């Protein structure tokens, strides 16, 4: 049986991405918890370039960068729901939006007060979500009737969005501006693949106060 391990920090949305993908594919794995602010020898050895989590270990193969790992998981384990669309054009578009989300949101868990920078991104994603719904005829997720690539790319940040709202008395997902995304977020959170992955808001707030707001 193949050995599947994940080096990560539970509070990292990028680590949560990989966990959700693994859950969608019903893959058992060993979670190797890192201490935030410290880098274990295993992490430094496994990701000598960026020295960051997550790192996915499949037997003796090491894969880094969260969306890259998600794509690897989807391509290797073909059973279960497909995370990326089968159509090449749709797949390219999903990858585009995944890269866009990373470009705009990456690091926001370390810049919690900068939530205003997310507003334009979320409005555009609201429009994209509506277009996806009109194309697929299903408004549940970006990927159709089940969680897909863009859902994972954005959904991993929902815990930090909620923590930011409470810590700084701001509104990240605003029902007046992005009503469809607000509904989507509730569905995403309640999915079996997501439950027990994204830490509770209070735990993220404690993490932020302890590690990010010194």
Q: Which CATH class is domain 88-212?
A: mainly alpha
pLDDT for the residue 107: 53
Q: At residue 55, what are phi and psi to the nearest 5 degrees?
A: -125, 130
pLDDT for 108:
46
- Between CA 127 and CA 132 the distance in angstroms is 9
How high is the pLDDT of residue 118?
A: 82
Point out which residues pair with 32 in neighbouring strands: 7
Tokens of 55: 């790192």
Question: What's the pLDDT score for residue 170?
Answer: 86
- CB count within 10 Å of CB 107 equals 9
Angle between helices 66-76 and 13-24 (to 10 degrees): 10
pLDDT in tens, the chain (214 residues): 569 999 999 999 999 999 999 999 999 999 999 999 899 999 999 999 999 999 999 998 999 999 999 999 999 999 889 999 999 999 999 999 999 999 887 654 445 546 667 888 899 999 999 988 776 556 799 988 899 999 999 999 999 999 988 988 888 899 999 999 999 999 999 999 999 999 999 999 999 999 887 6
Segments of the chain assigned to CATH 1.20.1050.10: 88-212
- Check residue 168 and give its pLDDT: 85
Residue count of the chain: 214
d(CA 2, CA 4): 6
Distances (CA, A) of 131 to 16, 96, 134, 141, 153: 26, 15, 5, 11, 18
Q: Are 155 and 149 in contact (CB under 8 A)?
A: no
In the block, which residue shows the tokens 């960051």? 52
Q: Boundaries of CATH 3.40.30.10 in the chain?
A: 4-76
d(CA 103, CA 121): 10
For the domain covering 4-76, report its CATH number: 3.40.30.10
Residue with tokens 């010194």: 214
pLDDT tens by residue, 147-181: 999 999 999 999 999 998 898 888 889 999 999 99
> Is the Cα torsion angle 182, 84, 58, 27 positive or negative in sign?
positive
> Which strands form 61-64's sheet, in the order they lie side by side?
30-33, 4-8, 55-58, 61-64
């Amino acid at each position: 049986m193949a050995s599947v391990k994940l080096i990560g920090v539970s509070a990292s949305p990028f680590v949560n991405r990989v966990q959700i993908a693994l859950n969608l594919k019903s893959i058992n794995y060993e979670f190797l918890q890192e201490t935030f602010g410290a880098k274990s020898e295993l992490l430094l050895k496994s990701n000598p370039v960026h020295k960051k989590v997550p790192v996915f270990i499949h037997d003796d193969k090491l894969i880094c960068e969260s969306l890259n790992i998600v794509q690897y998981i989807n391509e290797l384990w073909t059973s279960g729901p497909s995370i990326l669309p089968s159509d090449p054009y749709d797949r390219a578009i999903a990858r585009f939006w995944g890269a866009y989300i990373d470009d705009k949101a990456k690091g926001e868990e370390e810049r919690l007060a900068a939530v205003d920078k997310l507003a334009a991104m979320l409005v555009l994603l609201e429009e994209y979500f509506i277009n996806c719904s009109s194309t697929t005829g299903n408004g549940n997720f970006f990927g159709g009737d089940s969680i897909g690539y863009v859902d994972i790319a954005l959904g991993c940040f929902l815990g930090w969005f909620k923590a930011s709202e409470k810590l700084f008395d701001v509104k990240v997902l605003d029902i007046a501006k992005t009503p469809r995304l607000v509904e989507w977020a509730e569905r995403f959170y309640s999915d079996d693949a997501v439950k027990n992955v994204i830490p509770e808001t209070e735990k993220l707030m404690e993490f932020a106060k302890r590690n990010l707001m010194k």
